[in-house]
Homo-oligomer: A and B are copies of this chain.
Amino acid sequence: MIKENKNYRPKMSNSKVEASFPVSVMDEFGNKREKHITGERPLIIYVDKKEIVTLMTLGNNPELLVLGYLHNQGFIKSIKEIKEIQVDWDVDSAVVVTKNGSADWEDRLKKRTVTSGCGQGTVFGNIIEDLDGIKLPKPQLLQSSFYRLLKNIKQYNEVYKKSGAVHGCALCKNENIEIFIEDVGRHNATDAIAGHMLLEKIKGADKLFYTTGRLTSEMVIKVAQMRIPILFSRAGITKMGKELSEKMGITTIARAGGKHFLVYNGSDTIILDKKPLIKETSISI
């Protein structure tokens, strides 16, 4: 019985859509050029026949996105609450069936925070309260390992390289990328990774989380929800992102690229075993 629960997976479709599309554009010389643009489409989430929200997404990992979204918004605590997720792009919808119905969701839907680290994302009520008292384990991070990780990440960003206009997020362990997900919204990419972790029962404690986007309050909150103790980005950080990471014990590294990085919280996490020579540092600010 316990084993059965441990391996539980909801019934899920596997609906991936095309990410890049060819278009003709005009350049500054008046010439016609063939380029690619990134897909973006609405995905209406229905939970127990109730319309919850419409997400705008690339559509690469819709089931993981829905799962992670429901979790990160505080709608579900465990994957076992979800019986089924069926995505049908013909009607741009994700139909979610829960095991016990969703009677109190009305209340949860009422209060919401539009967090605007990036866009005006929604985080439904109670999330900050749920995180109260969280203190993540303090890992150690070898600078040498971090440099190898930064190098490995450069191999990804598939959609970005082809057609731009997406953010990428990665779940990493040591110097390896376990999963890399792109989406038109970085919060979608983050949610899809949370969905993957839920589905595959992956713990966050020994992981690092990478995003191409900025480290705003909402990013730090989501990483805390995934219990990942290290968050890094090639971009910057906001004051509230820094404050929340201090509060919850998340090591935040911003402006990470080449040999360069800046540690905004948790500098004692980093073991400086590979300090660069001054001339090999890329000044990327």
Q: Which residues of A contact B (CB under 8 A)?
A: 21, 23, 25-30, 33, 35, 37-42, 51, 53-57, 111-122, 143, 163-165, 183-188, 214-218, 235-242, 259-264, 267, 270, 272, 275-276, 278, 281, 285
Most buried by B among A29, A185, A239: A239
Q: Could you say which residues of chain B place their CB within 8 Å of the CB of A30?
A: 272, 275
A241–B184 Cα distance when bound, in Å, is 11
Oligomer: number of copies: 2
Indicate which residue in B35, B119, B237, B261 contacts A120 across the interface (CB closer than 8 Å): B119
Q: Check A40–B241 contact: CB distance below 8 A.
A: yes
B119–A276 touching, CB < 8 Å? no
Q: Across the interface, which residues of B come within 8 angstroms of A239, CB to CB? A: 21, 37-41
Bound form: Cα–Cα A186–B185 in Å:
12
A120 partner residues in chain B, CB cutoff 8 A: 55, 119-122, 185, 187-188
Q: Which of B25, B38, B121 contacts A263 (CB 8 A)?
A: B25
* Contact (Cβ within 8 A) B218 A119: yes
B236 touches A114 (CB 8 A): no
- The CA-CA distance from A272 to B51 in the complex, in Å, is 48
What is the CB-to-nearest-CB distance from A281 to chain B, in angstroms, rounded to a whole number? 7
Shortest distance from the beta carbon of A11 to any chain B beta carbon, whole Å: 25
Task: List residues of chain B with CB within 8 A of the CB of A23.
Answer: 242, 264
Inside 8 A of A242's CB, which chain B residues have their CB?
23, 37
Query: B39 touching A185 by the CB < 8 A rule?
Result: no
Whole-angstrom CA separation of A261 from B25 in the bound complex: 10
User: In the complex, are the beta carbons of A275 and B29 less than 8 A apart?
Assistant: yes
Q: Are A55 and B116 in contact (CB under 8 A)?
A: yes
Sample of 18 further A-B pairs with CB below 8 A, known A165-B235, A184-B214: A21-B239, A23-B264, A26-B267, A27-B263, A29-B278, A37-B237, A40-B239, A56-B113, A56-B115, A114-B121, A116-B119, A116-B121, A116-B188, A118-B118, A118-B186, A120-B120, A122-B122, A165-B237
**Contact: B267 with A56, CB < 8 Å?**
no
Q: Which residues of B contact A119 (CB under 8 A)?
A: 115-121, 185-187, 218
Closest CB-CB distance, A94 to chain B, in whole Å?
13
Once A187-B120, A188-B120 are accepted as A-B contacts, the answer to whether A240 and B56 lie under 8 Å apart by CB is: yes
Q: How far is the CA of A24 from the CA of B276 in the complex (A)?
A: 20
- Which of B122, B260, B270 interacts with A114 by CB under 8 Å? B122
Task: Choose among B115, B241, B261 the residue that contacts A27 (Cβ–Cβ < 8 A).
Answer: B261
Pull 19 A–B residue pairs with CB atoms less than 8 Å apart, ordered by A: A23-B242, A25-B264, A25-B267, A28-B276, A30-B272, A33-B262, A40-B216, A40-B217, A42-B113, A53-B112, A53-B113, A55-B114, A116-B188, A119-B185, A119-B218, A165-B214, A165-B235, A165-B236, A165-B237
